[in-house]
Structure 1
């Protein structure tokens, strides 16, 4: 019983430290549309946009909406959206290059709306 209690306390402390270090100072939160298809897109979009302690992104597969949370003294929405575009995903503000889009796995190649696409 005592070892179980000690293990639970250790896990609580570990999780608390992880949560505190993951918080973003001067946080600004915005929601934007990012085009994609699947869970693999979600993983790639979130990985491309996340900078530890500076920016995190959560993308919803169904709505295609991303919630950006970032330290407004260290980055901005444009920088985050450019990183996502460099990974091959369009937003309404920054389309991906054709080269980046074409490197996406076939399941991640979403229908691109007729819009200005950077070559």
Structure 2
């Protein structure tokens, strides 16, 4: 993975045993996308750390499943403007993204995400 961010937010050692690690495919095109997605995920309560690799469209997340879940994480990513396999972002999210991050244009806005 390209990047590791630790957002442990003071998780106690007792919660370490309850942590779950997942991988989510997320459509992204650059390091800027990766950094933005990491910030989105680390803002979710219960997130412990994030590894992001834009070249492989892959994000690895460790979290406390008592505080959040994969569905909530994917929804947050989508609401932040990025496609996952289960959630598509809305076109209006393009407005605050750099041009290089606009991987779906108006003509192809319904394209399926393929990692």
Normalising by structure 2, what TM-score?
0.72
**Which is higher, the Rg of structure 1 or of structure 2?**
1
Structure 2 residues not aligned, in runs of 5+: 1-6
Deviations 1:53-75 (A, max 9, x none): 61132210211111011100010
1:77–1:20: structure 2 CA closer, same or farther, 3 Å change rule? closer
Matched with 2:32 is 40
RMSD of the alignment, in Å?
A: 2.7
Structure with the bigger percentage of strand: 2
| Equivalent position SS for 1:41 | helix
Contact 2:45–2:68 (CA under 8 A) maintained in structure 1: no
Residues 103-112 or 41-50, more deviating = 103-112
Larger % of helix: which?
A: 1
Give unmatched runs, 5+ long, in structure 1: 1-17
Instruction: Tell me the number of residue pairs that the alignment of Structure 1 and Structure 2 aligns.
Output: 99
Distance of aligned partners of 1:87 and 1:52 in 2 relative to their CA distance in 1, 3 Å threshold: closer
- Greater relative CO (CA pairs within 8 A, separation 6+): 2
Under a length normalisation based on structure 1, what TM-score does the superposition of the two structures give? 0.70
Residue of structure 2 equivalent to 1:15: none
Report the CA distance between 1:102 and its aligned residue: 3.9
> Partner of 2:65 in structure 1?
72
Deviates most, 71-80 or 92-101: 92-101
